Structure 1
Amino acid sequence: MAIWDAESFDRFERTGWSGRADAYRAGFGRVTSHLVEPLLDAAGVGPGSRVLDAGCGPGPVAAAALRRGAKVTAVDASPEMVALAGRSHPGLDVRIALLDELPFADGEFNAVVGNFVINHLGDPAAGLAEIRRVLAPGGRLALTAWEKEAMRATALFGEAVAESGVPRPADVPAAGPFLADAEGQDRPAAFYRLLSGTGFAAADVESVRWLHRVDPAQWWTDVVTGTPLTGAVISRLAPEEQRAVRRIYDRKVAAHAVGDGFVALPAVALLGSATRPA
């Protein structure tokens, strides 16, 4: 499986979110919201915390941190996401910024959180180095990322494309660089090594599992319209190719039916946390 270089992957990500902000918030963002509170807990966010929400998307993590009494700054590389977060959460300090080029002073924050952002970076180690720079000594970092192999909620789509035999668009990456060489049970350990290897201490990585209850037709729409990679793959197929992929998806997703027209899809994420050494 080919992995794109960091610059090309970042360029794809920045353009791939165009036009998807509202669809993401209404659809796929609901499954990511499961990790909002655990993420803030892992970073020790509470009253008075100076928090950076990196890759804030529509802003649910930043809003939750504000409710805890924290002082919050939020950034995202997507101008559309930044605009949406600002509209959704009036008064939130939200800015356009790249995670590996943060416009903040050294040690400005005592907590940095990122909900499913590190897996969207072309160079995860560079992003972690920049996070370390803006963290104060003793500050806490907490990041989530999808456990891609066990994440049945999204794996269904890649499997349906592969089984249909339709060609993938050549200008869409097969996967991102994050933990690209780690497989199966080694992925939490690889995440741990990445945190430790970029200068963080007291690293910890745990797997979080839950079921995402959703209408299967709605889930198809949520993923195709609200995610840059899978959405690009499927939306660029010819109509008859899309129908072929959809038939396989419908068959696979039916195995998770729980009644009343809903399915319960296994979702699995990695929650990594660490401290900047004093």
Structure 2
Amino acid sequence: MDYSEFRQDEINGWSQRAGGYGKATALATVQTIPTLLAAVRLYPGARMLDAGCGPGYAAGAAMALGASCVGVDNAPAMIDAAHTRYPGSEFKTGDIEALDFPDHSFDIVAANIVLFHVTDPRKSIAEAFRVLRPGGRFAFSQWCGPDRSECYKLIYDVISAHADMTLASPAPNAFDLSQPDHAKSVLEDAGFTDTATVHVPNVLRTGAESFYDFFMQFGVRIPLIMQRQSNQVQATVRAEIDERAQAFRVGDEFHMPMPSIVVSGQRPA
């Protein structure tokens, strides 16, 4: 299957969202970073690759704890945002499915909610294994699917009931790595040992008036589907999502459960 159009749409979409990431996507993704860094057993002096770094939040947290970090992302505007947030730090545009680093370059590789967006997660995992030093650790985080995420259940229930999903460009299964046992087996197939998974109970909190409008800025995959629908379908989906989201209103905010998992392993020494 050719996912090249999806790949370019993702790069463009995240470039457009770089400036607003901190007020939208980061409201949920940063909640996973402490568990991610614990899973790689971060230590002062470690050299870490933040793969798919976005504006650099995971790298920034690791640097605050004494690690040295390099961040890579394929959206140039995200790299610009990372440089703005962490001046003088090492961030570069690159493809985490084909990393531009020699073998055995890092003690740690971390990927926070990014394999959800690449065309071939297994290539990214194989690249993480390649650039790790023997004994190094890798961890990635991934959104739970609609079977365990009230947020994604609400979104996908409504969209699948009204939208023509075939109008969007072909894309890999977003939740392929969302089942813990399967995710561990993928790491083990790549050569990792000492694999483990941890559940993270993220809650997306936003004071947005319309949860639908907010979510169209939160990510890229759902907008890629919705922007190709008719105006009538978009209006219907917006109204139904906003109505269902009221069940998660707490005062002036929505508190939407959006859990993730952290999957980790070690390159054998």
- Using the size of structure 1 for normalisation, the TM-score is 0.88
Unpaired runs of at least 5, structure 1: none
Distance 1:57 1:222 in 2: 19
Post-superposition CA distance 1:35-67 (Å, at most 9, x none): 111111111112101000000011111110110
Match status 1:130 vs 2:134: no
Match status 1:146 vs 2:154: no
Give matches, 1:77-96, under 5 Å: 77-96=74-93
C-alpha spacing 1:209/1:275, structure 2 compared with 1 (3 Å): same
Task: State which of 6, 16, 19 in structure 2 corresponds to 1:19.
Answer: 16
Range with greater deviation from structure 2 (62-71 or 16-25): 16-25
C-alpha spacing 1:216/1:148, structure 2 compared with 1 (3 Å): farther
Distance 2:225 2:153 in 1: 13
Distance 2:61 2:247 in 1: 35
Task: State which of 249, 252, 259 in structure 2 corresponds to 1:261.
Answer: 252
Range with greater deviation from structure 2 (147-156 or 96-105): 147-156
Task: State which of 193, 207, 210 in structure 2 corresponds to 1:215.
Answer: 207
Letter in 2 for 1:45: L
Deviation at 1:268, TM superposition (A): 1.3
Deviation at 1:80, TM superposition (A): 1.0
Distance 2:119 2:227 in 1: 23
Distance 2:229 2:213 in 1: 15
Post-superposition CA distance 1:107-162 (Å, at most 9, x none): 11000101011121211111111111110000011110011122222332222222
Post-superposition CA distance 1:217-255 (Å, at most 9, x none): 354333202411112222343433322111100121111
Letter in 2 for 1:267: M
C-alpha spacing 1:190/1:64, structure 2 compared with 1 (3 Å): same
Task: State which of 156, 164, 185 in structure 2 corresponds to 1:158.
Answer: 156
Partner of 2:264: 273
SS in 1 for 2:122: helix
Residue 35 of structure 1 contacts residue 115 of structure 1 at CA under 8 Å; is this kept in 2? yes
Distance 1:265 1:275 in 2: 33
C-alpha spacing 1:5/1:60, structure 2 compared with 1 (3 Å): same
Letter in 2 for 1:22: G
Range with greater deviation from structure 2 (213-222 or 51-60): 213-222
Give matches, 1:169-248, under 5 Å: 170-173=167-170, 176-177=172-173, 180=176, 187-215=179-207, 217=209, 219-248=211-240
Aligned residues: 268
- Using the size of structure 2 for normalisation, the TM-score is 0.91
Identity among equivalent positions (%) equals 29
SS in 2 for 1:16: helix
Distance 1:125 1:166 in 2: 29
Task: State which of 30, 39, 48 in structure 1 corresponds to 2:45.
Answer: 48
SS in 2 for 1:190: helix
C-alpha spacing 1:124/1:166, structure 2 compared with 1 (3 Å): closer
Distance 1:213 1:19 in 2: 22
Give matches, 1:30-69, under 5 Å: 30-69=27-66
Distance 2:159 2:125 in 1: 33
Distance 2:57 2:214 in 1: 17
Deviation at 1:265, TM superposition (A): 1.1
Distance 1:261 1:134 in 2: 46
Distance 2:145 2:169 in 1: 17
SS in 1 for 2:140: strand
Letter in 2 for 1:69: G
Letter in 2 for 1:176: P
